[in-house]
Amino acid sequence: MGCGSSAPQPEAPPQTVNGGPSKDVNNNESRNIDNELERARQEEEGKIKMLLLGAGESGKSTIFKQMRLLYGTERSEEDLRMYGVVARSNVVVAVRKLCSHLRNLGLEEELDRESRENEDLEEGDHSSMTCRQAYDELMAYLVDNTATASAQDPTATSEGERKDWVGQSARAGLAANNDAKQFLRHHESIRILWQSNTIKQVWAKRSAVNIIDSHKEYLNDIPRLASRDYKPTTQDVLIARVRTTQVAMEKYRIDGIDFEMYDVGGQRSERRKWIDCFEAVTAVIFVAALSEYDQTLAEAKRTNRMVEALELFRSVCNNRAFQNTSIMLFLNKKDIFAEKILCSDIAAQRPFCDYAGPTKDFDHGVLYFIQKFKDCLIDDEFNDSFIHVTCATDTNNMEFVLDSTRTIIMTDNLKRSGFLGAD
């Protein structure tokens, strides 16, 4: 008979003790668990956790969006539709404030005079509507709400809104969606009023009513925003203002290192949520708006915004939770600051009457506020390399600043861990 291949022998079952798994199996499982825990611990320790702090409307969320633009994924169409609704809503919010401020400044007669002069000279916008008529329409529909439903713009049909690319967005919220609809109904009136010389006088005094400065870009481009084909650009997304009411977090892997960035609301009512983000923070990026030296808080009209930022910075820097944490200072909105100091003197603001530098001087003004922030520190060990003067809406500027910040944070983290000697 020929030799056949032998059948494979079944593996012997693992040895058991009293009917249970062997000690070897238990030891292997325990080692695997320990190894997994150690791996997770090392990953967590190697992670850079950055926390954005600062007062409301300082530009934290814009920096948060820049991080995603530079290192994260592209925006989905759902995201862009949401930002389209927000952009249109932002215009309506700005126009409400401008119209109310125009009335409070007593400039309605000036607007009448401009309308008559344009008609006599056949100058200005050659539409059938004067700037005074545009103003009256916006006051009736957006401010005083005295217009009747029958007087609605006939071009604002539901069919017209349905075909609009942006449409509506549940994520933007009910108020923003309603304002975006108002924008589509009254965008021509907004455009005409914005072109008037009278509204330019109001804009120059916008700090009294806390209008978002960067929304001038929207106001300069009303026809594009009103187009049915309108799709928000990167710049539109960056300057879109959505109040942060929840802690937002994004994860990035940059040059083999994991980063987590947290964005939190800056208004007083939102700050109680900050404590939940304080654990194991590698670095705090504190954002303050240079341009807000002559503005007051939306939630506390008698409090200067820069004074609020200084006090908040003092409390953050001297908080025990951040004793071993790198703290970076971003003095933001340098572009608006450069424009504003030409017509708003720093020394004319009561909290900063000690400013002794020349008026309308950008460099002296910046150095003055840098020293104000340094004066908030208990110790003087605050390296100038930890201070950046920024424009959060400028992607090129933020790419350089964030890249420098990453390097400084990682180096400082290694020093604190003892892997690098102190300077």
What are the residue numbers of the active site? 57, 62, 241, 263, 267
Cα separation, 258 vs 415, in Å, equals 18
Is the Cβ–Cβ distance between 35 and 268 less than 8 Å?
no
DSSP lists the bridge partners of residue 332 as 289
- The residues pairing with 287 across neighbouring beta strands, listed in sequence order, are 330
Q: Which pair of structure tokens corresponds to residue 89?
A: 């809503």
Q: How far is CA 332 from CA 47, 63, 223, 418, in A?
A: 26, 10, 30, 32
Number of H helices, E strands in the chain: 15, 6
Pick from 333, 336, 370, 335: nearest CA to 355: 370
Region of 54 (left: φ > 0; alpha: ψ -120 to 50; beta: rest) is left
Through-space distance between the first and last CA atoms of the chain, rounded to whole angstroms: 86
Whole-Å CA distances, 46 to 178, 250, 252? 46, 17, 13
Q: Which residues pair with 48 in a beta bridge?
A: 259
Find all residues with CB under 8 Å of 171, minimum gap 6, and list them. 78, 82
